[in-house]
Every structure is written in structure tokens, then in C-alpha cells.
Amino acid sequence: MIRGSIVALITPMTANGQVDYPTLEKLVEFHVQAGTHGIVAVGTTGESATLPVDEHVKVVETVVKVVNGRIAVIAGNGANSTAESIELSKRMAHSGIDAFLSVTPYYNKPSQLGLIKHFEAIADSSEIPQILYNVPGRTAVDMLPPAVAELSKHERIIGIKEATGDIERLIEIKNLVADDFSLLSGDDASSLAFLKAGGHGVISVTANIAASEIAQICDLAQAGKFDEAKVIDDKIQVLHDKLFIESNPVPVKWALYRMGLIPESVFRLPLLNPEPNSQLVIEQALQQSGFLNA
């Protein structure tokens, strides 16, 4: 089972907008050393929407190479075209990843049956396990628990990243799926409550910055030490909040730049760096949580 702290890794870029592979390798090693349990490469936070297929695959292969089997590597393969998602899956079939993360098809707004058929077709196309990803706030479609339950019957669909932040939704899904189906939070602010309610881990944006802290929270939660986990989580709640002051991954990438963990804060259009007021809020959050000196 995939569980624990899984960072939704950013994709660093150079000043001219190319992928910065040396910095990517340093970030991956940073997470391995910090105790992160897994990495999602080229998900939403990794700017999958603006990376062509060749780059997408190369980033994933770079992450796999540096990880070298030490922690789990999950690759984003989501698209709003089933055929495109299948093509991505085939291109990464021999990359050495542990699983795919596949987001609900955005913009199309398919029915629940359409979602089931979409994910079944993707899972049928590859031997690599699939993790579903439900984030209705960004995709305009909500995959409901009965659809998740139906998809969980597929031998290669092994879990879900549930990003609604709704703990009742988690409980409903948990009651409908097998015990070995990975339940992963996609909402940092409610992730500790998610773990306490029976979730297995979190795919985290905040972990880009607070890597060891999120890993500790997950380890403590697994051991049932929720009071100790809450002490750590309380210190970084401000990050859970302010890292979403603008659309992800804009704030978290700029925060990593401000901390000196990446040399540039560069995006591809239509994304841009945070507005000056947002930069001030993010900087204050980094200071408040102890990740940046005042």
C-alpha cells in the first residue's frame, strides 16, 4: 500500500523557461534525506499542463534515477482525453515508477459512468497501478463515492487522492472500498483530520517546504500519536493556508525560491509569479512557521 507523506513536487525551471534538471535532482535528494515517503512527479504542482510529453517523461525518468528505489515514485498521467492519458501511460511504462496519479478529466464534465469508463480504460492500458485523483475545485467534476467503489474493484486501481477536504467523504469512501485501498488526502489543511479518520497518507504541496514535518506527522499518525502530530501540524497551518493564496503551484514555487531551495521562480504562461501583495503574505507565512528568518 502507498501511504505516508508524498510530496507533490514542483518542476524547477531556468530563467529561459527550460526544465532545470540539476535543481530537480537536488530537490529529489532533499526529499529522500528529509524522510518523505514518496514523490509525485509532474502532477498539477509539477506544471503538467505546460510540459510537452517528451519533457514530462524526462522529468519522471530523472526523478526515478535519483530516487533509485529508496522511496516511491508516482507519475502524473492525467488528461481530459482518455486517449492522451493512455498515451502518457504507455510512454512511461518502462520508466521504473511505482504508480500513476490520474486526475479526473477537467473541463469535459463527464458523467459518473463516463468517469468509470475513463479510468477503467487507462488502467486496462498499463500494468502499472493507478491512483485516482479527485479535485473538483479545479476540474469542475466531482467523482462520487459509488464511482470510486466501482473503480476500486479493478485490480490495478489501488487508491485515491481525495482533495475535497471533506472528512465525511473520506469516511463514506472508506466504508465502500477494501482495507488495502490507499486513501490519500489532497488537501493539506485537513490532512491530519483525514489521517485521524482512517486515511493512509497525504499527497502534499506543503511538503515541498516542510518535508520532514509532514513526514513526521504521517509517521506519528500511523503510530496513533495524534496529539504529537497536531503540535507539528499547528506550526505549519499557516503554510497550508497561505500557499494557496494564488493558484497552486504559483505560491509554493515562489516560496522555494525565496528560501533559496531553487535558483529561479519561473513559470510557463499562462502562470506568472505571485502578485507583490501575495509575495508579502507568503514571506510572512514562511517567517511565522520558521522556514525563513525575519
Tell me: the pLDDT tens digits for 133-151?
Answer: 999 999 999 999 999 999 9
Q: Is residue 104 part of a domain?
A: yes
Q: Kindly name the residue from 161, 174, 225, 235 that is annotated as catalytic.
A: 161
CATH of the domain at 69: 3.20.20.70
Residue 63 belongs to domain spanning: 4-246
Tally the domains of the chain: 1
Residue 71: CB atoms within 10 Å: 19
Give the span between the Cα atoms of 235 and 214, in whole angstroms.
Answer: 11
* pLDDT at residue number 293: 87
Q: Which three cell numbers, joined as nine digits, stand for 263?
A: 535558483
pTM over 0.85: yes
Q: Is residue 259 part of a domain?
A: no
* pLDDT at residue number 172: 98
Tell me if residue 133 is catalytic.
yes
Q: Is residue 288 part of a domain?
A: no
* pLDDT at residue number 101: 98
Cα distances (angstroms) measured from residue 75 to each of 126, 152, 199, 208, 261: 13, 19, 21, 16, 22
Q: What tens-digit pLDDT sequence spans the chain (294 residues)?
A: 999 999 999 999 999 999 999 999 999 999 999 999 999 999 999 999 999 999 999 999 999 999 999 999 999 999 999 999 999 999 999 999 999 999 999 999 999 999 999 999 999 999 999 999 999 999 999 999 999 999 999 999 999 999 999 999 999 999 999 999 999 999 999 999 999 999 999 999 999 999 999 999 999 999 999 999 999 999 999 999 999 999 999 999 999 999 999 999 999 999 999 999 999 999 999 999 999 986
* pLDDT at residue number 294: 66
Tell me if residue 26 is catalytic.
no
Q: Is residue 292 part of a domain?
A: no
Q: Is residue 280 part of a domain?
A: no
Q: Kindly name the residue from 21, 133, 174, 196 that is annotated as catalytic.
A: 133
Q: Is residue 269 part of a domain?
A: no
Give the span between the Cα atoms of 95 and 294, in whole angstroms.
Answer: 42
Q: Is residue 236 part of a domain?
A: yes
Cis peptide before 249 (omega within 30 of 0): yes
The gap from C-alpha 40 to its chain's centroid, in whole angstroms, comes to: 5
Q: Is residue 270 part of a domain?
A: no
Cα atoms in the Cβ-side hemisphere of radius 13 Å centred on 57? 12
Asked if residue 19 lies in contact with residue 58, where contact means CB atoms within 8 angstroms, the answer is yes
Burial class (CB within 10 angstroms; exposed 0-12, middle 13-18, buried 19+) of 270: exposed
